[in-house]
Amino acid sequence: MNMVAQLKGAARFTVAMPRSDDFDYWREQARVLVQCDIPPDHVSWTEPGGTQDLFTDTGGVLPEPADAGKLVRAPKRFLALARNAALHSNPQRFALLYGLLWRLQERPGIMQDKADPDVRRLEELDKNVRRDSHKMHAFVRFREVRETAENGSNVEPHYVAWFEPDHHILRANAGFFKRRFANMRWSILTPRGSLHWDTETIREGPPAQRSDAPEGDPTEDLWRTYYASIFNPARLKVSAMLSEMPKKYWKNMPEAALIPELIASAQSREAQMVSAGEREVRERPTSLVDIERGVDTCRDCPIAKCGTRTVMGEGPSGATLMIIGEQPGDQEDLAGRVFVGPAGQVLDAQLQRAGIDRKAAYVTNAVKHFKFVQRGKRRLHQNPTAKEIDTCRWWVEAERAIVKPKLVLALGSSAARSLLGKTVSVKQVRGAPITLQDGSELWVTVHPSYLLRLDGDARAEQEALFAADLAAVKSRLAEVA
Ligand code: URA
């Protein structure tokens, strides 16, 4: 009997998840189950440490079905939400995902049905997990551990943090910490597992206890200073701050010691600012990590609530060239990385042609969140307004102050506005540099998505102009390097 027939014949089937956060494994098993026509009420999902359903047969790992060609419908939006929801600690999550996947085969439009209880539940799980990840980014605090080598000499410091996530988010966030603290040796210990980075490789370790992590040390002073400087009552009301920083995290956070003082001074600081007529007095962040944290919690414009996540710039923090686009698109929002979608491919090809190394540049956007309208299954890009660009400009300036590029290449008019604070005509300003206040040079060209919208001669003509703009930047790069 082939696998499909075997599965169809089985009364119930149990899928034992090898890890609590293994979405790809769930996806693979769910695909086979759908292809084998196994309805959700015939499937149980178990995970390590979970309670086994004693009344089901244990099916083990599913091999490839004979009917592997059968199309399984899984819309992008479902997959994006499901990938996060799979990290939730709710033991029913895999069953919920499979139930929804099953229903999507008959009703592919369900994901647009805001009233559907399964879709709402999925959205809720996704939101909880995103919030947990956000807290991890914001509240992990490293303590320095000085180790002594066998010969008695000091070895590089090791930074250790303790964190208590609500969900299975540790592995999913490894990349974030790897990128942000690339040059530090660090460990993040949690009750669900641990991560260890030695500046080259990341290792996973077993669950830890609070007592495995060191108590306070001088890095705490750094955090206290940092925190007091970013605390701004005009932007962040005390109640909002407290809800953002639940008590359970306080014990791991040196800056929590400042809270009574901050609360006491908040009202008078707020009054002072109002009377000074200031919109805000906010210290400029001193690192790209601070900027990412700040943008993540920024609620100065409505776009911040759009999209799945903040998409930060990427590239070396001392890059000579900064390339700035408009805002992340659909694919950038899903991947959490700048210029990885169709416009990014055009940009990559053109940069390569011009001999500009994208990896050596710091690539970012005028606006850090994806602004869109939902049309059926599709999320359609919407241009940010001038006000939204101007609001996000503060963060772009903070990035420039840290990266200190000698040349800035603005792609399109939103990017140009972000640099200049006013709208300019790309046609008029392209081809010659504009000196910015800090002495760096701004070069403006069109956005690569403009090229994508053209075809035939018009496209060839615009591509040639774009290539000429990049060639000019390339030759300036050689001069200023
Ligand atoms: N368009 C942009 O302006 N930026 C991106 O990151 C992707 C598309």
Residues 38-84 pLDDT 10s: 999 999 999 987 654 433 444 445 555 556 677 899 999 999 999 99
Residues 341 and 445 in one domain: yes
Q: Pairing relation of β-strands 43-46 and 434-435? A: unpaired
Residues 117 and 185 in one domain: no
C-alpha 76 to ligand 1 mean position (Å): 19
Ligand 1 proximity of 190 Cβ (cutoff 6 Å): no
pLDDT at 185: 86
Ligand 1 proximity of 338 Cβ (cutoff 6 Å): yes
How far, rounded to the nearest angstrom, does the alpha carbon of residue 48 sit from its chain's CA centroid?
Answer: 27
Ligand 1 proximity of 327 Cβ (cutoff 6 Å): yes
Give me the number of domains the chain comprises.
3
Residues 120 and 203 in one domain: no
Q: What does the alpha-carbon distance between residue 429 and residue 417 come to, in Å, rounded to a whole number?
A: 12
| CA pseudo-torsion sign 291, 296, 302, 306 | positive
How far, rounded to the nearest angstrom, does the alpha carbon of residue 429 sit from its chain's CA centroid?
Answer: 33
How many other β-carbons are positioned within 10 Å of the β-carbon of residue 448? 23
Residues 351 and 447 in one domain: yes
User: Nearest CA to 308 among 292, 288, 328?
Assistant: 328
Pocket test for ligand 1, best of 365, 396, 409 (most atoms within 8 A of CB): 365
Residues 85 and 161 in one domain: no
The CATH number assigned to the domain holding 395 equals 3.40.470.10
How many other β-carbons are positioned within 10 Å of the β-carbon of residue 147? 10
Has residue 288 been placed in a domain? no
Ligand 1 proximity of 126 Cβ (cutoff 6 Å): no
Q: What predicted TM-score, i.e. pTM, was given to this entire model?
A: 0.49
* Burial of 339 per CB tally in 10 Å (0-12, 13-18, 19+): buried
Residues 123 and 169 in one domain: no
Pocket test for ligand 1, best of 310, 326, 426 (most atoms within 8 A of CB): 326
Ligand 1 nearest atom to the CA of residue 311, by list position:
6
Residues 312 and 458 in one domain: yes
Report CA dihedral (95, 101, 105, 106) to the nearest 10 degrees.
Answer: 60
How far, rounded to the nearest angstrom, does the alpha carbon of residue 90 sit from its chain's CA centroid?
Answer: 23
Ligand 1 proximity of 351 Cβ (cutoff 6 Å): no
Length of the chain: 481
Give, in degrees to the nearest 5, the angle at Cα 411 between 406 and 416: 75
Has residue 234 been placed in a domain? no
Q: Are the C-beta atoms of residues 103 and 118 closer than 8 Å to each other?
A: yes
Ligand 1 proximity of 343 Cβ (cutoff 6 Å): yes
pLDDT at 147: 64
Residues 191 and 124 in one domain: no
Has residue 261 been placed in a domain? no
Has residue 118 been placed in a domain? yes
* Beta bridge mates, 44: 14
Residue 322's domain comprises 301-480
Residues 336 and 468 in one domain: yes
Residues 322 and 468 in one domain: yes
Ranges of the chain with pLDDT below 70? 1-11, 50-68, 147-155, 216-283, 305, 307
Residues 315 and 351 in one domain: yes
Has residue 426 been placed in a domain? yes
Residues 471 and 395 in one domain: yes
